[in-house]
Chain A
Amino acid sequence: MAGNASRAGFVKLRVMIVDDAAFMRMVLRRILESAGHEVVGEAADGNEAVEKYVELKPDLVTMDITMPNKDGIEATRVIRAIDPNAKILMTSAMGQEAMVKQAVLSGAYDFVVKPVDEERFLRAVAKVCGERIMPSQGSGHVVAGQ
C-alpha cells in the first residue's frame, strides 16, 4: 500500500470508485482529485470491482450498493475475503438502511449517504484511513508502502 505524505497530516490515497452511474463516478472523482487523492480506477459493477481491486490494490474503495451483476454488499464480502485489510467506504442512498447494515456486516468500514456532501465525504475518506494517520496509533504516521 502506498501513501505519500505530501502535506502535514495529509495522506494521498489511491482510490477506486465503484458505482454503476457514470455521473456519480465523475462527481466522486472530481471531489477526490480536487482534494489531492489519486483515483486509480473505476468500476461499474461488483464483478468489475473485484477484478480491478485485485489488479490495482487501492488504499480505499468507494462502493455503491445497488449495482447490476454483483451488488456492493456482495462485492465487499468478496474483496474482504481476498484482502481482510481492504478499506471499503459504502456510498448509500437514503432508505437503504438495511443494506448499509448488511454491508457493514460484510466488512465495509464506513458509509456516506448520497447525495454526497463534499466536505463530509472527504472527512469520511480521511477517517477511513485515520488509523494510519492517528499519531498515537501504531509506530508511524504513515504506513510504509510495499
Chain B
Amino acid sequence: MDSSFASEMAGLFLEEVEDQLHIMEQEILRLERDGASDETVQNLFRAAHTLKGSSAVMGFDEMKRLTHEMEHVLDQVRNRRLGVSTKLVDLLFQCLDHLRTLKEQFMAGSGIFVEIGAIVHELRNYAFGSEDQPERPKEAAIGEAVLCMEDPETWAKVRNAQDQGFSVYDIQVRLVPDCPMKSVRAWMIGHRLRSLGEMLLTHPPGLEELEDAEENGTVFDEESWPSELRYLLACQTTALHVEETLLTISDVAGVRVTPFPVWQREGAPVSAAAAPAVGAPAGAAPADGSAAGGASGASAHEGTGAANGGGAGAVPAAEKRKARTIRVDVERLEHLMNLVGELVIDQTRIHQVGSVLHHLYAADETVDELVQVSDHLARVIGELQESVMKVRMLPIDQLFSRFPRMVRDLAQSLNKEIDLVIEGRETELDRTVIEEIGDPLIHLIRNAIDHGIEPAEERKRKGKPAKGRLRIAAAHEENQVVITVEDDGAGIDVDKIKHSALRKGLISEEELKKLSDPEALRLIFLPGFSTASSVTDISGRGVGMDIVRAHIEKLSGVIDIDSRPGEGTRFTIKLPLTLAIITGLLIRLSDRMFVVPMSSVMEIVRVPPEAIQTIKGDAVVVIREQVVPVVWLHDVFRIPRMRETKRQLPIIVVGTADKRMALVVDELVGNQEIVVKSLGSYVGKINGISGATILGDGQVALILEVGGIGRWREMRAGRAS
C-alpha cells in the first residue's frame, strides 16, 4: 500500500468515525430523553457496528474491541434481554468519550494510552448482569489492570507471583519528549527492571523479547515508539526502590509505580495501601459487579488523567507528531511554489541592482550592507526553494507499485513468464512529473512484454532462461532522474527498422545510408512508425513510440534507446527533478535574451564560421567526427543574423531524444536558476517556446523548447526539398 493511499484511507476513516460518533451522541441523548425505542437502539447498534468494521480494517484494535463490546450490549438491548437504565446511558456516554479519545490518539499517531480495559469490563458486566452470571473475582480486577488483563495467561502469572509472595507493580515510565533511540531506551528500562524481578507484561508489547530481536538484527521504527512505557513486574522490592532504580536512567522524565491489588483466596480484594483505585468501598463484594466495576472505571479515568496531566512532556510530543503529517491541497503547494518563484526573481533583481550600485558607489557602506543583505536573502530563498521543492517530491514508488500487477496480468494473457525487477522505488521526483511519466512508462513496459520478451519455448531454444527479465529502475543522477526500462528479450533488429522506415516513406534511401546503427534505432521515435507486424491487443494500438517521445519531451526529458539483437532492449529516460524551476543557459540573439534548458544542452563549442558547411542546402557542422545539422536560432525567431565578423561562433549542441542539433547564437551569457512561467492561455502554444521567465534586470526571456525547434527545422527542410 503506498503512503498516499494509506493516508487517504486514514482520512476517510477519521471522517467516518466523526460521523458515527455524532450519530451515537444524538442517539444516546435521545435514549436518555425519550427512553428506549427500537429505532434509537437500532441506530446505536448500527453506528457501533460500522465503527467496528472500519476500525478492524484500519487495524485499530482498541476501537474495534470497544465497539465490539458496545455492539454486544446493544444487541441484547435490541433483543429485550437487557433493559435500558441510567447506568446504561452513562456507560454509553463513557464509551463515546473513550472513542473520541481513541480517535484523537489515532490522529496523534499514538503516544498516549487510552485505557479501554475498564470500560470494556463494565460493558461486559452490564451484559453479564442480564444473563445472571455470577461475577468472577478475577474479572473485577481487570479494571485496575489497565494493561491487557483480559489475557488469562497474564492474569494467571499475576496470581501465581502474588501467591508466591511477590509484589506485582504496574510501572509507568515517561520518557523525555525528544528522547533518542526510544526502542533501546525502552528495552534498557526493561532490562534494568528484569534485574529486580520477573517481567510479566510490557507495553508496547514485546519489550521483553527485544534481547532476541536484537540478535535477529530487527530494526525498530523509532518514530512509532510511544513516549510512555508500561511494565508489569513481579519482584520482592519496594515500590520506592523500583522508582529510584528507574530514575537513575537517563532520558527518563517520570516514573509511576502502582502496586497491584492482592486477591485473597476467597476472591475479595485486599487493597494494597498505595493502590489508589481499589480504595473504593471496602465492601465491594465480588458479586456486586457494578460497584466494583464503577470503582475500577474511576481508577482508569484517574490513570488517564495522571498520564495526561502529569505527562506535561508527553502531550506536546503527541502534538508534535500530529503536526508531522498534514494533508495539504496540491493547489496550495503550487501557489507556494509560485510565490517562491516570484521571490527568486525579485532576489535576482535585487542582486543586480546591488551590484550596479556597488559599481557606482564603491565607497558607500550602505551599498555594502545592501549587497550583504542581498546575499543572505539569496541563501535563505535558496533554502526556501529547496524545502518547497522537497514538499512537492514523492517517491516514484507511487507509480512503480502499479506495475507488478500489470506485468503479471500481461504476462499471463500473452502466456509468457516474466521476472519483474523494480529498483529505486524510493527515488523522489516532482509529483507533476510522476503523474505525467506514467503513460509513457506503461507503454514501454507493454512494448517490452509484447514485442521484447519472447515466449518461454523460444527463449529455451535460444539458450536463454525460460523466464524473461524486465527491469524497471529509477535513480538520481546529478540534477536529473534516470528511469530505465530494460528487457532481456529479442532486441530490435536495426535492418528491419530501416526497411520499415523506408517503406513507410519516413526517410530516404540516401539518408538511411548515412545513419549509424544507434541513429537508425532512434527511427522508432518517428511519428507513424511501428515495428509490430500485427496489431495486438496490448501494444500497437496506433499509439507508437513517437507519442512516448512527445510525452517525455513535454517534460523536458530525453529518451534514449539501446538494443542488441538477441540480448534485449533498454530505454533510458532522463527527466528533470522538477518542472517549476530549471537551470537554464542564458543566451543572447541580437538584443533579445533566451533561455535554453540545461537538460537539453549536450555541449557548448565555439567554431570558426567557415566550419559550417552546406550539404545539399542544409547547413551542417562536424563536431567530433559527427555531422550535426546547424540551426541559426535567429532564423527561427526571425531576428536578423549578426554579420559574421566574429572569429568564433558560439554553438550549443542540443539533443532531445533522437536528434542532435547545433544552435548558433550570438552570445552565451551564463547559467542561471530560472523560474518557469507559462505564457498564459491568451498566448497559447507556440512552437519552439515552452514558457518564459523574468530575468534580474526585469527583462522577459523566452524559454526554448528544443523539440519544437527540431520540428521547425524538419518542416523547413521538407519545404525546401
The answer to whether A113 touches B249 (Cβ under 8 A) is: no
Known: A97-B181, A113-B180. A127 touches B210 (CB 8 A): no
- Does A1 reach chain B (CB closer than 8 Å)? no
- Does A137 reach chain B (CB closer than 8 Å)? yes
Per-residue CB proximity of B203-215 to A under 8 Å, as 1/0?
A: 0000000110010
Considering only CB atoms, which chain B residue lies closest to A102 in the complex? B214
Q: Kindly state the separation between the CA atoms of A113 and B251 in the bound complex, as whole angstroms.
A: 11
Q: Which of B16-24, B146-154, B240-248, B403-411 interfaces with chain A?
A: B240-248
- Does B539 reach chain A (CB closer than 8 Å)? no
Contact among A92, A94, A130 with B247 in the assembled complex (CB-CB below 8 Å): A130
> Which parts of B191-249 form the interface with A (CB within 8 Å)?
191, 210-211, 214, 217, 219-220, 240, 244, 247-249
Q: Kindly state the separation between the CA atoms of A130 and B183 in the bound complex, as whole angstroms.
A: 23
Interface size of A in residues (CB-CB distance below 8 Å): 23
- Does A131 reach chain B (CB closer than 8 Å)? yes
The answer to whether B250 touches A112 (Cβ under 8 A) is: yes
Q: Kindly state the separation between the CA atoms of A130 and B192 in the bound complex, as whole angstroms.
A: 15
Contact among B176, B181, B211, B220 with A94 in the assembled complex (CB-CB below 8 Å): B181
DSSP class of A's interface residues: helix, strand, loop or mixed?
helix
Chain A residues near B180: list those with CB within 8 A: 94, 113
Q: Kindly state the separation between the CA atoms of A101 and B190 in the bound complex, as whole angstroms.
A: 12
- Does A123 reach chain B (CB closer than 8 Å)? yes
Per-residue CB proximity of A103-138 to B under 8 Å, as 1/0?
A: 011000011110000001001100110110010110
The answer to whether B214 touches A134 (Cβ under 8 A) is: no
Total inter-chain residue pairs, C-beta < 8 Å:
56
Contact among A98, A111, A127, A131 with B188 in the assembled complex (CB-CB below 8 Å): A111
- Does B106 reach chain A (CB closer than 8 Å)? no
> Which parts of A27-83 form the interface with B (CB within 8 Å)?
none
Q: Kindly state the separation between the CA atoms of A95 and B8 in the bound complex, as whole angstroms.
A: 31
The answer to whether A127 touches B249 (Cβ under 8 A) is: yes
- Does B184 reach chain A (CB closer than 8 Å)? yes
Q: Kindly state the separation between the CA atoms of A102 and B250 in the bound complex, as whole angstroms.
A: 18
- Does A11 reach chain B (CB closer than 8 Å)? no
- Does A100 reach chain B (CB closer than 8 Å)? yes
Considering only CB atoms, which chain B residue lies closest to A110 in the complex? B250
- Does B632 reach chain A (CB closer than 8 Å)? no
Q: Kindly state the separation between the CA atoms of A98 and B220 in the bound complex, as whole angstroms.
A: 10
Q: Kindly state the separation between the CA atoms of A97 and B188 in the bound complex, as whole angstroms.
A: 11
- Does B155 reach chain A (CB closer than 8 Å)? no
The answer to whether B184 touches A127 (Cβ under 8 A) is: no
The answer to whether B248 touches A104 (Cβ under 8 A) is: no
The answer to whether B184 touches A111 (Cβ under 8 A) is: yes
The answer to whether A100 touches B248 (Cβ under 8 A) is: no
Known: A97-B219, A104-B191. A134 touches B248 (CB 8 A): yes
Chain A residues near B214: list those with CB within 8 A: 97-98, 101-102
- Does B187 reach chain A (CB closer than 8 Å)? yes
Chain A residues near B244: list those with CB within 8 A: 134, 136-137
Q: Kindly state the separation between the CA atoms of A124 and B251 in the bound complex, as whole angstroms.
A: 8
Chain B residues near A104: list those with CB within 8 A: 188, 191
The answer to whether A127 touches B247 (Cβ under 8 A) is: yes
Considering only CB atoms, which chain A residue lies closest to B252 in the complex? A127
The answer to whether B251 touches A120 (Cβ under 8 A) is: yes
Chain A residues near B247: list those with CB within 8 A: 127, 130, 134
The answer to whether B184 touches A100 (Cβ under 8 A) is: yes
The answer to whether B250 touches A124 (Cβ under 8 A) is: yes
Chain B residues near A130: list those with CB within 8 A: 247-248
Q: Kindly state the separation between the CA atoms of A136 and B220 in the bound complex, as whole angstroms.
A: 36
Known: A104-B188, A136-B240. A113 touches B248 (CB 8 A): no
Q: Kindly state the separation between the CA atoms of A100 and B191 in the bound complex, as whole angstroms.
A: 12
Chain A residues near B181: list those with CB within 8 A: 92, 94, 97, 100, 111, 113
Q: Kindly state the separation between the CA atoms of A102 and B395 in the bound complex, as whole angstroms.
A: 35
Considering only CB atoms, which chain B residue lies closest to A114 in the complex? B180
B317 CB to nearest A CB, Å: 16
Q: Kindly state the separation between the CA atoms of A134 and B249 in the bound complex, as whole angstroms.
A: 13
A141 CB to nearest B CB, Å: 14
Chain A residues near B217: list those with CB within 8 A: 98
Q: Kindly state the separation between the CA atoms of A101 and B217 in the bound complex, as whole angstroms.
A: 11
Per-residue CB proximity of B481-520 to A under 8 Å, as 1/0?
A: 0000000000000000000000000000000000000000
User: Measuring CB to CB, which residues of chain B are less than 8 angstroms from any residue of chain A?
Assistant: 176, 180-181, 183-184, 187-188, 191, 210-211, 214, 217, 219-220, 240, 244, 247-251
User: Measuring CB to CB, which residues of chain A are less than 8 angstroms from any residue of chain B?
Assistant: 92, 94, 97-98, 100-102, 104-105, 110-113, 120, 123-124, 127-128, 130-131, 134, 136-137
8 contacts between A and B (CB under 8 A): A92-B181, A97-B183, A98-B214, A111-B181, A111-B184, A127-B247, A130-B247, A136-B240
| Given A127-B247, A127-B250, 5 more pairs with CB closer than 8 A | A100-B181, A100-B184, A100-B188, A113-B180, A120-B176
Q: 10 smallest A-B Cβ distances: which pairs?
A: A124-B250, A113-B180, A130-B248, A101-B214, A127-B248, A100-B184, A97-B184, A127-B250, A98-B214, A110-B250
